[in-house]
Chain A
Amino acid sequence: MEHIELFFKAIFIDNMVFATFLGMCSYLAVSKKVSTAVGLGAAVIFVMAITVPLNWLLDQYILQEGALSWLGEEYATYDLSFLSFIMFIATIATMVQLVEIIVEKFAPDLYNSLGIFLPLIAVNCAILGGSLFMQSREIETIGLAFNYGVSSGIGFFLAILAIAAIREKIRYSNVPAPLRGLGITFIITGLMAIGFMSFGGMLTGGDEKPAELETAQVEVVKEATKIANNEKELKEE
């Protein structure tokens, strides 16, 4: 149950692109054609599935306060969490390089289709963001961390696939000249993000208490939704 909840939450409610704006750069740059978008999306799922559990292990056994206690009593008070940025990004960069070498050796077909996207991924904010959110949300088991990695990757995949399809279609439309290209993509993404907000209530229904949302940004969003709802109610009255 926990797994299913996390899965849907990461794909729809906390969608990497639409809710937290992570991975925007590659989302905008590589979404001109559906085929390349699929390649990048698949590569992101792949890399996130590896790096999030790996960084979870690092966080749990090296970085967190008291995590070093397995080394012996005298290390129990160490808190290395200020090193997490550098450890996470080093892990990601190394893993991307390793994955690239392994895939090239054992699955040349896959390498040809993912090929150029793998190095790009090292600097994709969605990947680092996945690890940082994993840390700040205090995900409990490695299974859940793996689940979170895969489902966030799927969320990114869906987003980039959708925008690529729309951009392929919009090429035949008469967009106002200054908005062509980047401008209209921004506005469409904004509209899609509004659409994705409607998933927000999906997991808060029922008897369970709504999961606590940590990031301040989400709180702002919540507040604003409340205001909007109040206004709506007022109008209806």
Chain B
Amino acid sequence: MGLLSKKDLKLITDPLADNNPITIQVLGICSALAITAELKASIVMSIAVLFVMGLGNLTISLMRNIIPPKIRIIVQLIVVATLVIIVDLVLKAFAYELSKTLSVFVGLIITNCIIMGRFEAFALANGPIRSFIDGIGNALGYALILVIVGFFRELLGSGTLLGFKVLGDPIEKTGVYAFGYENNGFMLLAPMALITVGIIIWVQRSRNEALIEDN
């Protein structure tokens, strides 16, 4: 990556692991959990957040010197809301079924704490290019968790990945179903998303002891 200096590269790699927005910074949980019953929805949501975060961070960073501090939250919300409306309209035009599945959760990207959190913590204090990279990095960290959760929930819950029956057909008893395997319908229920993220946190923190917090 000749384009990026080491410091900039760190802005992308950090949120992927040791400073992950979901498992470490505890931001943006709301939408992360509700839509991960299918891998496809998780991926689309990740792309939407990637778009909004990158451009949003860039915009806020460009405007950071002219935003009056007292009303900055409203300004930030308006910027995000505009970007989210674009995403919503694009989804409705090109992937109508999916936009039905995501329902209000596209709109809720506006109040996704990752976005506001990064605006406050980074974009208001850094230049546009670095802010853009930071936005992309954090959105990728968010996407990573979403895809992992979506992968396991769809695989264990309905035995498919992106709609393909990777484990065989449960009705005709092919693939692993021939050996008496059953889908775990429980994985599709909302609470399992929380428990899956809990397990990801467990794995991550037992690999890196520095992240362990007090009770």
A interface residues with partner B (beta carbon < 8 Å): 18-25, 28-29, 82-86, 89-90, 93-94, 97, 119, 122-125, 127-129, 132-133, 136, 170-171, 173, 175-184, 186-187, 189-191, 193-194, 197, 214-217, 220-221, 223-225, 227-228, 231
A90-B74, A182-B26, A215-B104 are contacts. A224–B111 as well, Cβ < 8 Å?
no
B 168-186 to A, binary, CB cutoff 8 A, 1 in contact else 0: 0000000000000011011
Q: Within 8 Å of chain A (Cβ to Cβ): is B123?
A: no
Q: Within 8 Å of chain A (Cβ to Cβ): is B215?
A: yes
Q: How far is the CA of A41 from the CA of B204 in the complex (A)?
A: 31
**Could you tell me the dominant secondary structure of chain B's interface residues?**
helix
Nearest first, the 4 closest Cβ-Cβ pairs linking A and B are A190-B194, A186-B198, A178-B205, A193-B191
Determine which of B30, B195, B204, B214 lies in contact with A187 in the assembled complex, contact meaning CB atoms within 8 Å: B195
Q: Within 8 Å of chain A (Cβ to Cβ): is B12?
A: no
B 78-92 to A, binary, CB cutoff 8 A, 1 in contact else 0: 100110110011000
Residues of A within 8 A of B30 (CB): 21-25, 125, 129
Q: How far is the CA of A183 from the CA of B29 in the complex (A)?
A: 13
Comparing B2-10, B31-39, B129-137, the segment that makes contact with chain A is B31-39
User: Is A220's CB under 8 angstroms from B185's CB?
Assistant: no
Q: How far is the CA of A216 from the CA of B164 in the complex (A)?
A: 20
Interface residues on B, range: 35 or more
A181-B215, A220-B37, A224-B189 are contacts. A193–B194 as well, Cβ < 8 Å?
yes
Q: How far is the CA of A142 from the CA of B172 in the complex (A)?
A: 52
Least Cβ distance of B23 to chain A in Å? 7
B interface residues with partner A (beta carbon < 8 Å): 23, 26-31, 33-35, 37, 73-74, 77-78, 81-82, 84-85, 88-89, 100-104, 107-108, 110-113, 116, 157, 182-183, 185-186, 188-195, 197-198, 201-206, 209, 212-215
**Could you tell me the dominant secondary structure of chain A's interface residues?**
helix
Given A25-B26, A25-B113, A193-B194, 9 more A-B residue pairs with CB atoms under 8 Å apart are A21-B34, A21-B190, A89-B78, A177-B209, A178-B206, A183-B201, A184-B198, A187-B195, A187-B198
